[in-house]
Structure 1
Amino acid sequence: MDAPAAAAAAAAGKKPFRAVIVGGGPVGLTLAHTLAQANIDFVVLEARDTVFADEGASIILYPGALRIYAQLGILEAALKLSFPITLLRIVNPDGKLARETENLKLVKELHGAAPQAFHRQALVKMLYDTLDSGSQKNIHTGKKVTDVQSTSEGVTVHCADGTTFDGAIVIGADGVHSKTRGFMRNLALQAAASDPSVKVNPEKPYTASYRCMWGNYPADPNEPSAGENHDCHGPKLSSMVIYGPERSWFFMYEQLDAPTQARRDYTAADMEQYAQQFAEMHVTDTVQFKAVWPRRTNAGMSDLYEGTVAHWHHGRVVLAGDAAFKVTPNIGWGYNSGAHSAVVLTNALHDLLYARDNPTPTTRQLAEAFERYGRERREDLNMVQTLSAFTTRQHAWPATSGGWVYWLVEKLMNLIPSIETFLITKIATKVQRTGRVLDFVRFGEDPCKSATVPWTYPYPTKG
């Protein structure tokens, strides 16, 4: 908040507007950037001792996210860490080539930029390093949130180490197993005790039908070139390897015996056992997974939850990223969706605080802004959910009565290459073109202005 607005709030005996962001991952740090750009005060609370933990695997940025990075002034720094994905090769479990395509290059033609691949840790570090020094001081690690209290005037976030943080709102960007979502639900349950019209989310909003083990390993000059994506598709199991200049990333997918909503944590022993069932699977036409697994630098594993939380906010608490919406990772839309959510939420807050000249909005006014944010994002994400779910099942077609549909689509795409071209140009463009931008930023040039498919949300007019 700018000095005049903060002074006015102080004169009125009210605290300046501050957002408390719970979660210092990619979405939380993207929110730090968008809020800083909007001149909105914030703090980020990360439970771990660092925001640079080397976990996860790769992150793919699509053109819409690159447009956001350009508005934030961090695109050049991001591109130095990444490389474009240009080639896709798919083999059967026995190594026989099913198809090869360069259709990913169509994305650049249609939307002005190629999909860029990043190592997750490198992307997170870039997001932190490119914040100004004042914003970096607002990022606190080792802050495990234990409670969120909310009143008509603001919020107080309590941490396990005894510290508290006051603010006007809480933004839960703390992932698929979001504790903030649980605290929000508790607040809603308390309110519903006296007002039955209050909307309360189910305790477990997501369901997993697949699981995945991922990891990375050093690049080898004898392996496929950087920018190549190699898949193996089959019944119940599939794999994906993205080759980079310094390291490569693997993803091994399996359909679960039955869908589950339970949280399950996997051990190193679990991963060793899991790797054995993929040992003979070809990740390329010449390489089996048993040659990749021993070379891993690190690895992780989780069930792949899917779903959309019914209510993205209650009172002064609002959700973003995987805390609100979860998709499978095959087409890489998880972080991209979270980045666009950060933009839409920031736009709503900026409009409320500045366009309406309201530095201390009421809980009701915030609820209206949050409702707008949730409504817009759910509309955008319907197709993302559909494409992500279908792709996961097409890659590892389910052992169910309906599994033949995914098997048939896979076989037809191998036989008729134009089907994939159609899906990219006619279906996927509906997701790509709706990429959001900060509507109050009136400087900089759109890096994807060469797109042949018009953006639904063009850069704001300068001036």
Structure 2
Amino acid sequence: MHTTVGIIGGGPAGLLLARLLHNAGIDSVVLESRDRAYVEQRQRAGILEQATVDVLRAAGAGERLDREGMPHDGIELRHGRRAHRVDFPTLTDGRRVWVYAQTEVVKDLIALQLVDGGPLHFEAEVHAVEAADTDRPVIRYTHEGREQTLTCDYVVGCDGFHGVTKNAVPEGVRTTYERTYPYSWLGILADAPPVYDELIYAHSERGFALASMRSESVSRLYLQVPNGTDPADWSDERIWDELDARFALDANREWRLKRGTVTSKAVLPMRSHVTEPMRYGRVFLAGDAAHIVPPTGAKGLNLAAADVIVLARAFAHLKDTGSADLLDAYSDTCLRRVWRAEHFSYFMTTTLHADPEQSPFETKLQLSQLDRIATSEHAAAELAENYTGLPLDPADTRQ
């Protein structure tokens, strides 16, 4: 087979790219190593930036999002047993975020792809990307028990941190920047209605906690735990008790979470990682294949979407004008946004978590920073602008 763009990875980045290319009249093939059921149930991010929502709507994938997604106009920060709300629209000229799980984004995009998009092959295990620096790169993969090849004009790796595409970029060409954190998140899904309207980020002496949601009846909650924690060591009752302790307020001592059946429990490590450049020859990296952020800033899915939006526009520009200028600028264009998101995610993570090695002096610095956000419109605006997402259009100067 031959296609214009071979896309490795059928997660939200790969599927969104395929949809945007289809709408621009550019053919593609998507190869996904897992089966459809696994992809549609893979739990990941749940916060969509304004720009991501706008693009999904324009791509034809916004109908269910608008019906079932939950728009949020702010977040609540808790520290020192006090609460402060950061109002996004007031601070960002009207921008907001949506709670709509990655599983639902993927379901919507798969449905569109299967109705009128290009080929989407599940259980297609990619082994290698070859001839990346030629005008006909090759994807070698196994599908339906047969080894196959797909020649492409271009290859886009949306196959995640452990995918094979980044191996097409020679070690002497790519540079890796990374940081690991001395703590993890214990995350749960629970059949319990949220008692809060917006996400709550809590800094406490006991460690960080986050209250999120998946719907009006399902809560998504996180606790900071030591690296190497076994989820089995945490009973449901212990988790609920610890969450209540970390979210406690002096002004409302009766505030408690609603408890329900815990349906999922997992420990998530925290990592920052960037691979540069995001292009080698005719192979491009997008999403987690190129960068990882700790989840504290809600940037992972949105960064991946931004990558493929930039890339789809570059392919459309090539098709319409014959110019590869935007493709040539892809890596530099994306990395400017990537490093801003990396910095914001690092800031949120290190400000809100209790490092086991930190001194009382460093804890006081964290509390001072949180106090400034609570008392300074400029500091709150900086957080709000980064959280809701920087503009995708370079002509938009709201930064």
Q: What TM-score, normalized by structure 2, do the two folds share?
A: 0.83
Q: Letter of the 2:210 partner, please give it.
A: M
Q: Letter of the 1:177 partner, please give it.
A: H
Distance 1:36 1:234 in 2: 48
Does residue 45 of structure 2 align to residue 63 of structure 1? no
Task: Tell me the residue number matched to 2:243.
Answer: 282
| RMSD (Å) for aligned C-alpha atoms | 3.3
CA offset at residue 30 of structure 1?
1.2
Correspondence 1:308-387 to 2 at 5 A: 308-356=274-322, 369-387=326-344
Query: Residue 163 of structure 1: SS of its match in structure 2?
Result: strand
CA offset at residue 455 of structure 1?
3.2
* Larger CA deviation: 41-50 vs 297-306: 297-306
Q: 1:139 aligns with which of 120, 140, 148?
A: 120
Q: 2:210 aligns with which of 237, 240, 251?
A: 240
Distance 2:357 2:306 in 1: 35
| Larger strand fraction of residues | 2
Contact 1:111-1:432 at 8 Å conserved across structures: no
Distance 1:82 1:376 in 2: 30
Task: Tell me the residue number matched to 2:150.
Answer: 165
Q: Letter of the 1:145 partner, please give it.
A: V
Distance 1:232 1:117 in 2: 19
Query: CA distance change for structure 1 residues 74 and 112 in 2, over 3 Å: closer, same or farther?
Result: farther
Distance 1:219 1:397 in 2: 27
Q: Letter of the 1:206 partner, please give it.
A: E
Task: Tell me the residue number matched to 1:399.
Answer: 356
Task: Tell me the residue number matched to 1:97.
Answer: 81
What percentage of aligned pairs have identical amino acids? 19
Q: Letter of the 2:109 partner, please give it.
A: L
Query: Residue 242 of structure 2: SS of its match in structure 1?
Result: coil
Task: Tell me the residue number matched to 2:251.
Answer: none
Does residue 1 of structure 2 align to residue 20 of structure 1? no
Distance 2:309 2:316 in 1: 10
Query: CA distance change for structure 1 residues 390 and 274 in 2, over 3 Å: closer, same or farther?
Result: farther
Distance 1:30 1:353 in 2: 19
Does residue 231 of structure 2 align to residue 271 of structure 1? yes
Number of residue-to-residue matches in the alignment: 383
CA offset at residue 208 of structure 1?
1.9
Q: Tell me, which stretches of 5 or more residues in structure 1 are unaligned?
A: 1-14, 190-198, 257-265, 359-364, 440-453, 458-463
Over alpha carbons, which structure has the higher Rg? 1
Query: Residue 224 of structure 1: SS of its match in structure 2?
Result: coil
Distance 2:310 2:360 in 1: 37
Task: Tell me the residue number matched to 1:448.
Answer: none
Task: Tell me the residue number matched to 1:85.
Answer: 72
Q: Letter of the 1:216 partner, please give it.
A: L
Task: Tell me the residue number matched to 1:11.
Answer: none
Does residue 360 of structure 2 align to residue 409 of structure 1? no
Correspondence 1:142-291 to 2 at 5 A: 142-150=123-131, 152-160=134-142, 161=145, 162-182=147-167, 184-185=168-169, 188=170, 199-202=172-175, 205-209=177-181, 210-220=183-193, 223-225=194-196, 227-234=197-204, 237-243=207-213, 244-254=215-225, 256=227, 270-273=230-233, 280-283=241-244, 284-285=247-248
Query: Residue 100 of structure 2: SS of its match in structure 1?
Result: strand
CA offset at residue 391 of structure 1?
0.5
Q: What TM-score, normalized by structure 1, do the two folds share?
A: 0.73
Q: 2:18 aligns with which of 27, 32, 36?
A: 32
Contact 1:341-1:377 at 8 Å conserved across structures: yes
Query: Residue 297 of structure 1: SS of its match in structure 2?
Result: strand
Q: Tell me, which stretches of 5 or more residues in structure 2 are unaligned?
A: 249-253
Correspondence 1:444-455 to 2 at 5 A: 455=396
Query: Residue 243 of structure 2: SS of its match in structure 1?
Result: coil
